[in-house]
Amino acid sequence: MEQLSNQQDYRLWLTELKANIRKSQIKAAIAVNSELIRLYWNLGEQIVEKQQASQWGSGFIEQLSKDLQAEFPDIKGLSASNLRRCKQFYLFYCQVNPICAQVVRELEASFLFEIPWGHHVLLLGRIKSLKEALFYIHKTVENGWSRAILEYHIEKGLFHQQGKSINNFTKTLLPPQSELANELLKDPYHFDFLQLSNKAIERDIENGLVQQISQFLLELGKGFAYMGRQYLLKVGKKDYYLDLLFVRFVYTKTISSLMGGYRAVQAA
């Protein structure tokens, strides 16, 4: 296999496969992000409609947040503060037309649902003009800006420098190596939305430890043995799986002439 890895045609093919995997990851991240932003849009829309049609008091959003989090405890985006942001998000982009049908269709073509929620929160806090916000959304997707880069260009007033035009943008695939692509792949809102965060973190820790197991054992010191991951233990009629199992051996010198030498004692 070493010879195969040195062959040029294999290396070129492997490079192409890696690029395809990366592109697929980004497409999946964009799809998840799009659904998340649409969810926040719909939450904002329904909150506005219910508050207008009902006589519910000022504690309505707090109660809604409490009830939703009881059902989906791992989704941090259902906090009262974020539900208020959802309402603000919807109202900001529907400011031109209260009915919103045509506005939403135009916004869909402007990448509204393709940038992370953190970018939207930044725009809502810093931008007052709908046209200016759409300009920065276009630029973010076109250039693959991270939130930090977006903030930099807002502070420098790029919208005012480039003639306030948002009519010359074309829809292109997000560059795989862009900062925005990396943020989409690692966005904690996505993990919370999919309710994968705790399992994903545990899996990453496990994988990291297993990959570095030799160095890890050396750092633990003498007498440790690695028994395995997801190690099955049977207690009565129940099965328990340990994420990682290590056994430490303590060596004690005996004074018994019958035993002699050293005796290994297994310690839990």
pLDDT at residue 227, as a whole number: 73
Which amino acid does the sequence have at 240? Y
How does pLDDT run across 228-249, given as a tens digit for each residue? 766 777 787 677 767 677 777 6
| Nearest of 141, 133, 138 to residue 179 by alpha carbon | 141
Tens-place pLDDT, residues 123-173 = 999 999 888 998 999 899 888 899 999 999 999 999 998 855 555 555 555
Give the per-residue pLDDT at 102. 61
Confidence of residue 43 (pLDDT cuts 50, 70, 90): very high
Cα separation, 193 vs 33, whole angstroms: 9
Average pLDDT value for the chain: 77
Residues in a beta bridge with 239: 234
Q: State mean pLDDT over 170-184.
A: 70
Contact 65, 79 (CB under 8 A): yes
Q: Looking at the whole model, is its pTM more than 0.85?
A: no
215-226: pLDDT as tens digits: 656 666 666 677
Please tell me the distance from the alpha carbon of residue 120 to that of residue 133, in angstroms, as a whole number. Answer: 9
In this prediction, residue 120 has a pLDDT band, given cuts at 50, 70 and 90, of: very high
Whole-number Cα distances in Å, 41 to 84, 91, 268: 11, 9, 53
Looking up tokens 């129940």 gives: 238
